[in-house]
């Protein structure tokens, strides 16, 4: 019985650390599978996401057609003041690490696109999330990896449970 308790403890600890690894450093593909383009409602997309310090944004788009500029504040964001950009990227596959809590503002640098709605406001929460919210519209790869590690946990737990029964 003591062996069972210790075994279960080890399994649960391993499962917890695996789960944490699966959820840490989550990648958020902006706009989901359709990516960074004019026809997406980025407000709704961002609403459905939980951004944490350590997560990464990924902007996928046709290089040359669009770009990613980071704007300094709310007013620049509201007015699509692209000229005030503090950072600019244009590779077509741009990763942006969310290094600290707060709000960050991104828009497309192509003329007219920001005012057509090609902008997104990212609210980054402090610390690590205590709950494990679901991210139906997040990137396939990140949801795949967290599901994959969850599956691994259950398989290991099932293995130990069967062994000790």
Contact residues for Cu ion, defined by CB under 5 A: 66, 108, 110, 113, 118
- CA 33-39-44 angle, to 5 degrees, is 70
5-11 LR contacts (CB < 8 Å, sep 24+): 7/160, 7/163, 7/164, 8/160, 8/164, 11/156, 11/157, 11/160
By C-beta, is 28 or 66 nearer to Cu ion? 66
- Stretch (H or E) spanning 159: helix 140-164
Distance CA 129, CA 12 (A): 19
* Cβ 57 to Cu ion shortest distance, Å: 16
Cβ neighbours around 140 below 10 Å, total: 11
Q: Is 124 helix (H, G, I), strand (E, B) or coil?
A: strand
By C-beta, is 40 or 156 nearer to Cu ion? 40
By C-beta, is 45 or 146 nearer to Cu ion? 45
By C-beta, is 17 or 116 nearer to Cu ion? 116
CB 109 within 8 A of CB 61: no
* Cβ 38 to Cu ion shortest distance, Å: 6
By C-beta, is 63 or 99 nearer to Cu ion? 63
* Cβ 108 to Cu ion shortest distance, Å: 3
* Cβ 100 to Cu ion shortest distance, Å: 27
* Cβ 44 to Cu ion shortest distance, Å: 18
- CA 148-135-62 angle, to 5 degrees, is 95
């Amino acid at each position: 019985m003591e062996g069972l308790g210790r075994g279960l403890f080890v399994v649960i600890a391993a499962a917890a650390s695996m789960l944490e690894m699966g959820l840490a450093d989550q990648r958020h593909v902006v706009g989901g599978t359709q990516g960074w383009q004019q026809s997406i409602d980025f407000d709704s997309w961002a609403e459905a996401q939980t951004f944490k310090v350590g997560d990464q944004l990924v902007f996928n788009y046709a290089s040359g057609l669009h770009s990613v500029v980071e704007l300094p504040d709310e007013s620049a964001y509201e007015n699509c003041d692209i000229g005030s950009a503090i950072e600019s990227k244009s590779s077509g596959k741009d990763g942006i690490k969310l290094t600290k809590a707060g709000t960050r503002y991104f828009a497309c640098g192509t003329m007219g696109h920001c005012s057509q709605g090609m902008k997104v406001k990212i609210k980054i929460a402090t610390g690590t999330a205590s709950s494990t919210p679901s991210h139906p519209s997040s990137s396939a790869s990140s949801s795949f990896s967290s599901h994959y590690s969850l599956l691994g946990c259950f398989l290991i737990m099932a293995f130990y449970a069967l062994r000790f029964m």
